[in-house]
Amino acid sequence: MNKQDLIERAKSIREKAYVPYSHFPVGAAVVTKSGKVYDGCNIENAAYPVTCCAERVAIFKAISDGESDFQSLAVVADTKRPVPPCGSCRQVISEFFSPDAEVYTTNLHGEVKQVTVEELLPYSFSQDDLSD
Ligand SMILES: O=c1ccn([C@H]2C[C@H](O)[C@@H](CO)O2)c(=O)[nH]1
Ligand SMILES: [Zn+2]
């Protein structure tokens, strides 16, 4: 799937966001190296920290479907600048995407900021740091 189609998938799933607290819907979509696409929206909770961001919902849907190698990710929100993924999502993204994988951060104005996973979270803590 190409970049623009992936962004459209993210925009479309954004309409399913469960956001009664923030009223800030976000949509995300990922492509696996095998070419499958998974999408996700943010899902909030009355206990605010339980909230799961759109990016993690998309990634976790793929993981629970047996997919763990990702090629790219798109995220979209109604923001002034292309929406930056939060720190927790950056850590999850760095667990499953290679450092050179592409992340398309976008907004509803059609702005796209394309960064690599390494640029999104440099010097990230990883599995390699656990071994001696
Ligand atoms: O990249 C982002 C940034 C924020 N949120 C969600 C979390 C919460 O539901 C709402 C406000 O922070 O937006 C995402 O899903 N992805
Ligand atoms: Zn997040």
Q: What is the CATH number of the domain that holds 46?
A: 3.40.140.10
Q: Which of 15, 55, 102, 118 is catalytic?
A: 55
Ligand 1: which residues within 6 Å by Cβ? 19, 22, 24, 26, 42, 44, 51, 53-55, 75, 83, 85-86, 89
Query: Distance, CA 68 to ligand 1 centroid (Å)?
Result: 23
Q: Say how many domains are in the chain.
A: 1
Pocket perturbation via mutation, ligand 1, pick of 24, 61, 103 by most ligand atoms within 8 A of CB: 24
User: Is 55 known to be catalytic?
Assistant: yes
Amino acid, single-letter form, for residue 104: Y
- Tell me the DSSP string of 57-116: HHHHHHHHTT---EEEEEEEES-SSPPPPPHHHHHHHHHHEEEEEEEEEEETT--EEEEE
Share above pLDDT 90 across residues of the chain, in percent, rounded to a whole number: 97
Amino acid, single-letter form, for residue 55: E
Q: Is residue 131 part of a domain?
A: no
- Kindly tell me if the per-residue pLDDT of 132 is higher than 90: no
Q: Is residue 98 part of a domain?
A: yes
pLDDT, residue 107, reads: 98
pLDDT band at 131 (very low <50, low <70, confident <90, very high): confident
Q: What range defines the domain where residue 83 resides?
A: 3-124
- Kindly tell me if the per-residue pLDDT of 79 is higher than 80: yes
Q: Is residue 129 part of a domain?
A: no
Q: Is residue 15 part of a domain?
A: yes
This prediction's pTM: 0.97
- For the stretch 56-72, pLDDT in tens is 999 999 999 999 999 99
Q: Is residue 11 part of a domain?
A: yes
Atom of ligand 1 nearest to the CA of 53: 15
- For the stretch 83-114, pLDDT in tens is 999 999 999 999 999 999 999 999 999 999 99
Share above pLDDT 70 across residues of the chain, in percent, rounded to a whole number: 100
* ipTM confidence score: 0.99
